[in-house]
Chains A and B, each alone.
Chain A
């Protein structure tokens, strides 16, 4: 099947405007401009497209929240992509940039915005050069700027490069960062759709979400809903990493099972046995063998206490020390905590210290209790979702791999550092 999102894999040089145009590029925008903005929103609603940034909020409904009428509005593309094991947006902006631009333009037209920002992960400089070239081509051909394609619709496009903070992928932190403020989220409400960038209504969409929009406009919502499942229609890019033979991005219809995904990625590396996987980078709870036949949809992992999220699948084989894995994740979240709210700022730090002590073989039963208790004191009590993310790897590994923790605190594990006190993770 031809790719819908990763079209560059089928068509060489589609990042060049001419090539993109020769293959139906900007037809979605033309279609959109030929109908009323409200009708565009209606089409996207009907397609059932949901946010690919992780939370899965229905895209059309999000656009519909934007107040009608005059006044400044903004579209922001979220290319911060800093979740562990996530690399799908990078491929899109680098290899198929026009599809993202086109999607954003359609969004801007639909909500009445005249300005689009793309917030890049700062490390994506190479991808960004490609993307900026694409923008330049658009300006030269009247696809950006005044009276796009001869219509009344005018729109400008700016790129902004983050300075290396995972939290700046959270939409309100992203907006703060874009405005030159400290990259910290704010407590919602107000939601960006009402008070976003510079206090104006703003749509923040993931890069992949927007890349889905042009084909939906061209082929119609029914075409889109014919793929995937009823509640999770369409296609999705899955980032496969970890102990598989062929890590990388895979474009699939929603609803494939995790087992199929592993097969698609060439199966377990070196033929080792599967142990667990993280379905949503570091931020979702781990799942085990029992959940491998669950469909990859927004709801598929609910019975197993996990989520699809941004579908960044990190696969772990039998050799993986799960306490080590949890420590890795917690280290990441502690490092990325913005520090705005108490439980996440202090709790991630504490979790890392205790976990490190346990991992290094100096932990006790009491440490294990404290670890679980601290995790529970963070979960559900933070200002943004990062706090919950940080807890997921801990609580889910405790749930599924309690034995491994037990072994560590019973002294069976190897003592890995000199003293109990120094058995803490090095700060940064």
Chain B
């Protein structure tokens, strides 16, 4: 039997895959069947009854199965007893659907009329007004006049906080359950549900704190009315006043496509400001979802504490200066200390910034002393060889495929990847997690490998050694079973992170995992779409930093340099011991992050930043940069997709884009006329970095039709996530796609005996940092310093659940909450809500006797 089915909808034939719903089949030929409860990313429920149509199927002779025909030869159709919901009926061959008949029109009009009998119609003050499915479908199918002549329509609460982020207007809710179903089916956070029945059906939150989910904002996009609104946008603007600009999320390596909706604001002195961040469809990256961090952290762009003017230290004080003065000073000082300079960059900067930064050092100053200020995860060079192949889409992974996730908590570090791996598992993929401790992905994993502290590398090495093509039938050893499942998979994707590992250990880990992918089995697991390695980078453009050569040993495009420069750790040492004289820190705060004690013996420190960070306070020159929203640029995701973002709001004060500041310094150190547009810098990148060859701002802006339709006219169907009109980005090809990659040599790591409790810092999505601190809406949700440990370990320390403790790690002391959690393996302490700490450490943990009031976060 073929897996395609042909149906006729209003006289138009369409051939669609078996299992397609009538509503989707119609959509494919632009026949818009109106819906409220149906959403193409959710299972159909047939609740709202808006999609009723006439559906006829060919009648067959009971005995022979022959199709029955009318006298004129046409097929006899059985239209059943009445209208049917197009969202729940699956197409079948020969089906005939009628969507424009009088009964269908009547039914649509009736549903609209019914909905309006309990709807407040406060469109003039409703956030959804202007992009409201109910409004639009009422205009299209409603009767235009009410027959419900009672004045007491419905009186329900209009401002119900489901938490601090999402508000419910009970009057506006049309009980479609999209929000409930999204939370349950899509993101497995069933924290909201219906309560009561009939017209009193209401959405309630079941969690404490309310609506406790990293995904809550998405429900406001798919809610077909203004019942769910976000705390920071509600009553903030009308949709038609907004100017939408395409952007990319800057908070994790997934690189979700977003749209910045902006508006000129009187309170901002007539400036355009970001009113909200919305998902922008990219079925390759984030589909139509974003996490709440990506949605709510943007407020830092408008923070009053932004730097607005260059600052130069005079008589011990940082005072405002002109750009020329500041830039001349920077260029002069850097050149003066040419032999003793270094540069440290943050990995949230754009490719253009990072490229020009390394160019300044390599070409302008002749130095390879350049690195990421806060490097955590190695293996960029390995990824360049065997990374996830171009043309991959995690959405395609399913039965027969495998995903391995090592040393990372995807739900906290890269939420949308967690979602995509979870969904792959639901489609039948083998999911193997290897970590020190359980994470949220364990629930969806088929194999869970929890290694002992210090045994990460030896465990993975064993796994690789066990992964032989001719495996004996999997024995009971879980490691062997996992290896077997992985190696036999049609496609294999491997994620790796740095939880509990040092930088050097992550380097070995990347190589070991590359070797796993390189075990030859059939077509192999490298160089083919949906196969390869994905690093769970700490920031949004760590990948770009590697590509651009912000690395002491690699020039742009992974060209090894003959004389590698100083690594970040050496640079910090050089600052302290005086062997370095000048330091340029861009988009990073090593002092605030505890990596650099002070300015040591530096003669000159320049910091390029958005805010007056701890490092900036010590600088000789502070250069005010623009946030990502004020400028354009490109980021490269962990899947090596190069994506463009666009200028959405005007610059704050006299700030300039990072790349421009760098270009102007570069000019001053003799590197020629500065490029006057980011696109031109990118063109240079495309020439210098072989992997980016052929890309330019136009190719990155290419789009294609995506399924399902969202945004625009289709918002009743897919929600208000924006249609992608500004670019899907381009994945660059790794070496394995065109050449054979040899196995990597990985030196055997000595197993270090570890005594006593081992402390590992674990990630939390809302961990305090320079940017997130500036978004008040998230303050209640911030991860407070917390330790988690098993009952026996807690008892040994005299700790109990809900106690407070003082934890000293690497001579930094934190006051933490204490959570006794039996999920934590014995001998391990998980510390979250604090800045990154590499590897495993020991810690002094002391119970705090004085009852300290729980901070409320206000």
Contact = CB atoms under 8 A, between A and B. Distances in A.
Nearest to B112: A342
A394 to B, nearest CB: 15
Contacts of A157: none
B85 A187 contact: yes
B213 interface: no
B49 A345 contact: no
A421 B150 CA distance: 7
A342 B51 CA distance: 12
Most buried by A among B45, B49, B151, B198: B198
A380 B82 contact: yes
A194 interface: no
Main SS class of interface, B: loop
A340 B114 contact: no
A424 interface: yes
Contacts of A337: 197-199
B175 A339 contact: yes
Contact of B175 (A183, A340, A424): A340
Interface in A321-361: 334-343, 345-350, 353
B199 A342 contact: no
A345 B46 contact: no
A424 B118 CA distance: 16
A227 interface: no
A391 B150 CA distance: 21
A167 B111 CA distance: 21
B49 A343 contact: yes
Nearest to B177: A340
A338 B113 CA distance: 19
Nearest to A421: B151
Nearest to A182: B194
Contacts of B111: 342-343, 381
B147 interface: yes
Contact of B115 (A165, A334, A346, A424): A346
B47 A340 contact: yes
A370 interface: yes
A383 B46 contact: yes
A382 interface: yes
What is the size category of the interface that chain B forms with chain A? 35 or more
B81 interface: yes
A377 interface: yes
A381 B107 contact: yes
A342 B47 CA distance: 7
Interface in A149-190: 165, 167, 182-184, 186-187
A342 B49 contact: yes
Contacts of B118: 346, 349
Contacts of A381: 49, 52, 82-83, 107, 110-111
Contacts of A347: 114
Contacts of A350: 114, 117, 148
Contact of B110 (A339, A343, A345, A424): A343
A339 B200 contact: yes
B197 A346 contact: no
Interface residues of A, number: 33
A286 B107 CA distance: 26
Contact of B199 (A187, A346, A377): A346
Contact of A339 (B115, B150, B151, B197): B197
Contact of B88 (A187, A340, A348, A349): A187
B170 to A, nearest CB: 13
B854 to A, nearest CB: 32
B114 A377 contact: yes
A150 to B, nearest CB: 37
A349 B199 contact: yes
B782 interface: no
Interface in A276-301: none
Given A346-B118, A349-B118, A383 B47 contact: yes
Contact of A382 (B49, B50, B175): B49
B667 interface: no
B773 interface: no
Interface string B816-846: 0000000000000000000000000000000
Interface string B679-714: 000000000000000000000000000000000000
Interface string A369-389: 010010001001111000000
Contact of B198 (A186, A335, A353): A335
B193 interface: yes
A135 B199 CA distance: 39
A336 B199 CA distance: 10
A337 B198 CA distance: 5
Contacts of A184: 194, 197
A172 B814 CA distance: 53
B47 A424 contact: no
B595 interface: no
B576 interface: no
A291 to B, nearest CB: 23
B222 to A, nearest CB: 18
Nearest to A167: B197
Contacts of A421: 150-152
Contacts of B777: none
B107 A339 contact: no
A342 B82 contact: no
B150 A353 contact: yes
Nearest to A377: B110
A183 B200 CA distance: 14
Interface string B190-232: 0001101111110000000000000000000000000000000
Nearest to B87: A187
Contacts of A383: 46-47, 49
A349 B200 CA distance: 11
Given A339-B200, A340-B175, A380 B45 contact: no
Contacts of A334: 198
B84 to A, nearest CB: 10
A302 to B, nearest CB: 14
B82 to A, nearest CB: 4
Interface string B16-60: 000000000000000000000000000011111110100000000
A370 B147 contact: yes
Contacts of A380: 81-83
B848 to A, nearest CB: 40
A342 B114 contact: yes
A349 B197 contact: no
A338 B49 contact: no
Contacts of A377: 106-107, 110, 113-114
Nearest to B113: A377
Contacts of B152: 421, 424
A245 to B, nearest CB: 37
Contacts of B193: 182
A165 B88 contact: no
Contacts of B107: 377, 381
Contacts of B147: 370, 373
Contact of A342 (B48, B194, B200): B48
Most buried by B among A343, A348, A381: A381
Nearest to B44: A187
B198 A338 contact: yes
Contacts of A182: 193-194, 197
A345 B117 CA distance: 11
Contacts of B114: 342-343, 345-347, 350, 377
A341 B250 CA distance: 41
B735 to A, nearest CB: 46
A338 B197 contact: yes
Task: Enumerate the 4 nearest inter-chain pairs by beta-carbon distance, A residue then B residue, closest first.
Answer: A187-B46, A346-B114, A377-B110, A339-B201
12 contacts: A338-B198, A342-B50, A342-B175, A345-B198, A346-B114, A346-B118, A347-B114, A348-B198, A349-B118, A349-B198, A377-B110, A381-B83
Interface of A: 165, 167, 182-184, 186-187, 334-343, 345-350, 353, 370, 373, 377, 380-383, 421, 424
Given A381-B111, A421-B152, 6 more contacts: A334-B198, A337-B198, A347-B114, A377-B107, A377-B110, A424-B152
